[in-house]
């Protein structure tokens, strides 16, 4: 196959405002506006995210036990994460400690979600940039182009293992996409021995696919000096922020349950907190030009879209998790983590990895870990026990936190004595990353666009700066025509359209 | 061998008209048409591929918003109509057309011979609430009749 197309020819634009609308390969409609100064350099850039309305009002007055199946309707991409966070919030609302079996089943289900989600992101969203190149023709730069380039058998493996992730969720959760099994203090469905064996076999295959995916990343990306150059480009893809993610008592990375750890730009622990303490740690900033709030560390403060120790901006998701943890509990993920650390150390990076595109590598290490952990849990014969529900108490207020594939996800509910919801607050992963994503977009635009010279490849490289976060906006809207491709609009200062470039 | 037909309603049932495909599918479910399986798809993309494999005919019902459409209008489309959108777009990886195209690329022997899309013009897809807006709701029985008569019972 021909090599990837990294660069293309730029065209000089006389306009002062560049709009990327809507953002491609991003659930929900995003829009990027890039403003140029008189010299044609970037003066500012914004990423706007629209909002679906009325969800909180929709939930108030309903029974809190409905929330795990309602909140997961917020999104067609990560419903499982909402279901788990919501179920954990109900554990807290009803002071209900789940049984050991229930915890294992929830975590097993969740490893299915990680497997499905991380495969979809890497192969469908990231791989087009790494296999075909950021400047490859837009019509080819998609999953179909990837399969053309790498071969149909690999495409079949992608479909198969993503489907295994879904199947595990379906077996444990009742339904793959909008699960129904989470109850305060447990789960609603027992697993049979046949189902356990079926999941064990799928998990074995997922471990192998994790190995394959990591090797592919080494061959395609790390083995290509142009890509390595992109990843290490500190002008375009590098933010020294705080990081947040879940860990166990040994600071090993955890997805389902644990304490939330925050580290600073040097890797030093700032705080480790329990779900009920989140309001002491996180505050939210509001900008006039977007509906989505921007969380920041309360103890540090909001200083705008800047980085460094005095700015409370933090990052979550695979990069956040790999930077707050001291490794993984499973051997293959741990081994690759050590390769990751050594590679970065050899490049002079001793603390957290601030290179934004390293999100992709971290995500694949997590794919490996999810497969291994899935196998550990599915091999445990005790998961077929009927001890799936613990006792519960009268409802009150509670917070549940889990690590969604995209990052830390917080659900907070208050209930009256009859179990009716009187307050709901959620901070979702993409919201946690929103300030950082804006900062990344601005940084990449400033580094890559000069003298008004733009090209589709350059603009795609700006998109790469936030695509690696795997953002997922408040979604659920997927009208058939709802996602036209990337459109770049050049406007005069009065907003009238002078020229439109489409890549579809 | 009897023909295997699948109807998939796509959308979010608590996001106003976004859920119109789901409601249409539920109405068809109540009719209990023999040899037809009905599924709800609350997500976009590859989940659809898992569902359609090994069927002969698939009818996908979803919401749409077009510039000059009126709420409750409907359009019947085929896979070819999505050629323009298959390439270059894909929310969180896969939209429906991309998922079908990938299926034809990777597992062509298991893909349905016929795929019909029924797109129903939506008025509100931005506000969380249960139920459809009045015009869309009023249009639904006739659209469901049409789907059963012209697509599901169509001679293969």
pLDDT in tens, A399-422: 999 999 999 999 999 999 999 999
User: Does the distance separating the beta carbons of B88 and A142 come in below 8 Å?
Assistant: yes
pLDDT for res A484 = 29
Rounded to an integer, the average pLDDT of A475-490 is: 37
CA dihedral of residues A127, A128, A134, A137 (deg, nearest 10): 170
Q: Are A365 and A336 in contact (CB under 8 A)?
A: yes
Same domain assignment for residues A218 and A101: yes
Asked if the structure places residue A422 within a domain, the reply is no
Percent of chain B whose predicted confidence (pLDDT) is above 70: 90
Other CB atoms within 10 A of residue B111 CB: 19
Rounded to an integer, the average pLDDT of A362-367 is 98
Question: Which of A334, A367, A390 corresponds to the end of one domain?
Answer: A390
> Does A451 fall in a domain?
yes
Contacts across the A-B interface (CB distance below 8 Å): 171
Q: Choose among B44, B98, B126: nearest Cβ to A52.
A: B126
User: Based on the domain organization, do A331 and A252 belong to the same domain?
Assistant: yes
Question: What pLDDT, in 10s, does the model give residues A156-173?
Answer: 999 999 999 999 999 999
CA-based end-to-end distance of chain B: 13
Give the whole-number percent of chain A exceeding pLDDT 90.
68
- Regarding whether A131 and A171 lie in a shared domain, the answer is yes
Mean pLDDT of B46-54: 88
Strand order in the sheet with B114-121: B36-41, B5-10, B57-64, B114-121, B74-78
The answer to whether B67 faces chain A, any CB pair under 8 Å, is no
Domain total in chain A: 3
DSSP helix/strand/coil, A159: helix
Interface test with B, best of A26, A479, A484, A487 (most B CBs within 10 A): A479
Q: Which two tokens stand for residue A279?
A: 């309001």
Do A179 and A269 have their domain in common?
A: no
Helix axes A152-173, A79-93, angle to 10 degrees: 20
Residues A361 and A215 in one domain: yes
Smallest CA–CA distance from A137 into chain B, residue: B88
Please state the φ and ψ torsions of residue A190, each to the nearest 5 degrees: -85, 155
Q: Residues A173, A145: one domain?
A: yes
| Domain ranges, residue A374 | 97-223+356-390
Q: What mean pLDDT do residues B137-150 have?
A: 97
Out of A141, A155, A486, the one facing B105 most closely (by C-beta) is A155
Domain CATH for A160? 1.10.645.10
Chain B residues 80-99 with a CB less than 8 Å from chain A: 84-96, 98
Give the end of a domain, one of A354, A370, A405: A354
CA distance A463 to chain B (A): 13
Q: Is some CB atom of chain B closer than 8 A to the CB atom of A479?
A: yes
Strands (E), A185-291: 186-187, 242-247, 259-263, 269-273, 282-285
Given an 8 Å threshold on Cβ–Cβ distance, is A55 in contact with B119? Answer: no
Q: Is residue B20 a contact partner of residue B130, using CB atoms and an 8 Å limit? A: no
* Contacting residues of B for A129, CB less than 8 Å apart: none
Who contacts A154 (Cβ-Cβ below 8 Å, separation ≥6)?
A147
pTM of the predicted model as reported, rounded to 2 decimal places? 0.91
* Cβ–Cβ contact A174 with B under 8 A: no
Cβ of B106 and A503 within 8 Å? no
**Who among A144, A176, A475 is closest to B102 (CB)?**
A144
List the single residue in B84, B93, B106 with the smallest CB-CB distance to A156. B106
Mutate: best of B89, B94, B107, B132, partner A, most A CBs <10 A: B89
- B88/A141 touch (CB, cutoff 8 Å), yes or no: yes
pLDDT of A125 reads: 85
Q: Is B49 in CB contact (< 8 Å) with chain A?
A: yes
Contact A480 B63 (CB under 8 A): yes
Do the Cβ atoms of A341 and A325 come closer than 8 Å? no
The verdict on a CB contact (< 8 Å) between A504 and B65 is: no
DSSP A72: G
Q: Is A28 on the interface with B (CB under 8 A)?
A: yes
Q: Which domains does chain B have, with CATH numbers?
A: 5-152 (3.40.50.1450)
Instruction: Tell whether A418 is covered by a domain.
Output: no
Of A7-21, A122-136, B86-100, give the lowest mean pLDDT range.
B86-100
Residue of B nearest to A52 (CA): B126
On whether both A123 and A34 belong to a single domain, the answer is: no
> Which tens digit of pLDDT belongs to each residue from A175-200?
777 788 999 999 999 999 999 999 99
């Amino acid at each position: 196959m021909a090599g990837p197309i990294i660069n293309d020819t730029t065209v000089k634009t006389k306009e002062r405002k560049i709009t990327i609308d809507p953002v491609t390969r991003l659930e929900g409609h995003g829009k990027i506006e890039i403003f140029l100064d008189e010299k044609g350099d970037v003066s500012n850039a914004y990423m706007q995210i629209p909002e679906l309305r009325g969800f909180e009002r929709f939930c108030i007055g309903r029974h809190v036990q409905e929330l795990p199946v309602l909140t997961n309707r917020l999104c067609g991409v990560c419903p499982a994460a909402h279901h788990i966070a919501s179920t954990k919030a109900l554990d807290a609302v009803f002071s209900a400690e789940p049984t050991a079996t229930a915890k294992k089943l929830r975590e097993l289900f969740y490893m299915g979600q990680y497997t499905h989600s991380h495969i979809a992101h890497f192969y469908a969203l990231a791989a087009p940039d790494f296999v075909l190149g950021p400047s490859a023709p837009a019509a080819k730069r998609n999953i179909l182009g990837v399969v053309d380039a790498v071969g149909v058998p690999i495409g079949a493996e992608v479909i198969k293992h993503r489907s295994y992730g879904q199947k595990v969720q379906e077996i444990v959760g009742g339904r793959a996409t909008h699960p129904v099994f989470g109850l305060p203090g447990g789960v609603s469905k027992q697993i049979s021995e046949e189902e356990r064996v079926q999941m064990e076999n799928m998990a074995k295959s997922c471990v192998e696919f994790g190995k394959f995916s990591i090797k592919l990343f080494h061959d395609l990306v790390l083995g290509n000096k142009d890509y390595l150059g992109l990843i290490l480009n500190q002008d375009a893809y590098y933010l020294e922020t705080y990081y947040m993610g879940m860990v166990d008592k040994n600071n090993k990375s955890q997805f389902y349950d644990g304490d939330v750890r925050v580290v600073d730009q040097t890797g030093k622990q700032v705080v480790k907190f329990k779900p009920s303490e989140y309001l002491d740690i996180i505050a939210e900033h509001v900008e006039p030009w977007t509906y989505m709030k921007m969380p920041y560390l309360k103890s540090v403060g909001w200083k705008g879209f800047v980085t460094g120790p005095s700015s409370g901006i933090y990052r979550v998701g695979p990069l956040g998790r790999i930077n707050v943890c001291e490794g993984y509990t499973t051997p293959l993920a741990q081994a690759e983590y050590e390769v990751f650390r050594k590679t970065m150390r050899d490049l002079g990076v001793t603390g957290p990895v601030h290179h934004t595109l390293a999100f992709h590598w971290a995500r694949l290490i997590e794919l490996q870990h999810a497969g291994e952990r899935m196998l550990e849990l599915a091999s445990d014969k005790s998961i077929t026990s009927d001890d799936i529900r613990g006792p519960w108490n009268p409802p009150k207020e509670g917070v549940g936190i889990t690590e969604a594939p995209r990052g830390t996800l917080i659900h907070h509910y208050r209930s009256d004595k009859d179990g009716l919801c009187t307050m709901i607050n959620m901070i979702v992963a993409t919201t946690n990353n929103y300030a950082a994503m804006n900062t990344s977009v601005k940084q990449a635009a400033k580094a890559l666009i000069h003298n008004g010279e733009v090209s589709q490849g350059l603009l795609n490289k700006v998109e790469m700066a936030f695509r690696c976060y795997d953002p997922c906006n408040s979604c659920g809207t997927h009208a058939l025509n709802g996602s036209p491709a990337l459109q770049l609009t050049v406007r005069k200062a009065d907003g009238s359209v002078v020229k439109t470039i489409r890549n579809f | 061998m009897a023909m295997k037909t699948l109807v998939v309603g796509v959308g979010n049932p608590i996001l106003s008209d976004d859920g119109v495909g789901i409601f249409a599918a539920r109405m068809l479910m109540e009719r209990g048409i023999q040899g037809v399986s009905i599924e709800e798809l609350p997500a976009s993309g590859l989940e659809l591929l898992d569902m359609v494999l090994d069927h002969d005919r698939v009818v996908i019902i979803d919401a749409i918003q077009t510039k000059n459409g009126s709420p409750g209008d409907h359009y019947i489309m085929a896979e070819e109509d999505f050629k323009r959108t298959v390439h270059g777009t894909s929310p969180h990886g896969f939209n429906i057309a991309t998922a079908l195209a990938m299926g034809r690329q990777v597992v062509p022997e298991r893909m349905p011979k016929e795929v019909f899309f029924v797109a129903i013009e939506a008025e509100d897809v931005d506000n969380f609430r249960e139920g459809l807006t009045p015009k869309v709701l009023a249009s639904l029985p006739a659209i469901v009749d049409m789907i059963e008569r012209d697509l599901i019972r169509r001679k293969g």
